[in-house]
């Protein structure tokens, strides 16, 4: 949901998010507009599960850092807050303490909720790909995952599919069914 419909520069956005009335909220800067990040329990649950599995993988393979829905990134000059992000230690030896990491993530997980605007998501996916980021767009309503990899066709996975980490998370594997509420792995 767009908060401000007037065009805004990225510098103005960076000042906007630091205003006293805004610091307790989450905002993205998409296509020159301020967008407040609002989720729901289903999307939050799914994001937490995916983040859990990625974090468990990283405990065994400490190749980078996973961030949650409070960790923002600069992507193609815009400001995004993926539900789960991952960045390698090779690209960033230590976590950034800035509100929006100046480096784009290696992997961005976007879990759709009813407030996500399809146009904004297309912009975000395009910018993530331009920045070299792999994107998993998870749709709880259809229990599907779209995998976007720079330079490759989109892969669509259904409930019987398996996500793999590809070159970003080598050896990582996650059954799509394990990320949705009400399934056997639900905990």
pLDDT at 39: 65
Q: What angle do CA 65, 98, 13 make, to 5 degrees?
A: 125
Cα–Cα distance, 184 to 180 (Å, whole number): 9
Cα–Cα distance, 106 to 65 (Å, whole number): 10
pLDDT bin (cut points 50, 70, 90) of residue 4 is: very low
The answer to whether 73 and 37 have CB atoms below 8 angstroms apart is no
Cα–Cα distance, 130 to 141 (Å, whole number): 27
pLDDT digits (tens, 9 = 90+) for 122-174: 999 999 999 999 999 999 999 999 999 999 999 999 999 999 999 999 999 99
pTM: 0.83
pLDDT at 184: 47
All structural domains of the chain with their residue ranges: 39-179
CATH topology of domain 39-179: tt1808, chain A (3.90.1570)
């Amino acid at each position: 949901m767009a908060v401000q419909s007037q065009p805004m520069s990225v510098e103005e956005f960076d000042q906007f998010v630091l205003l006293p009335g805004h610091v307790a909220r989450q905002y993205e800067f998409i296509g020159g507009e301020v967008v407040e990040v609002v989720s729901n329990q289903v999307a939050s649950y799914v994001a937490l599960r995916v983040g859990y599995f990625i974090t468990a993988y990283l405990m065994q393979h400490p190749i980078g850092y996973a961030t949650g829905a409070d960790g923002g990134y600069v992507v193609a000059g815009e400001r995004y807050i993926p539900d789960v992000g991952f960045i390698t230690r090779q690209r960033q030896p230590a976590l950034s303490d800035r509100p929006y990491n100046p480096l784009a993530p290696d992997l961005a997980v976007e879990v759709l909720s009813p407030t996500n605007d399809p146009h904004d998501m297309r912009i975000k996916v395009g910018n993530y790909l331009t920045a070299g980021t792999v994107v998993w767009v998870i749709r709880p309503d259809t229990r599907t995952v779209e995998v976007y990899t720079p330079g490759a066709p989109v892969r669509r996975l259904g409930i019987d599919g398996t996500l793999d980490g590809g070159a970003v998370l080598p050896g990582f594997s996650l059954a799509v069914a394990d990320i949705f509420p009400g399934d056997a792995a639900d905990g």
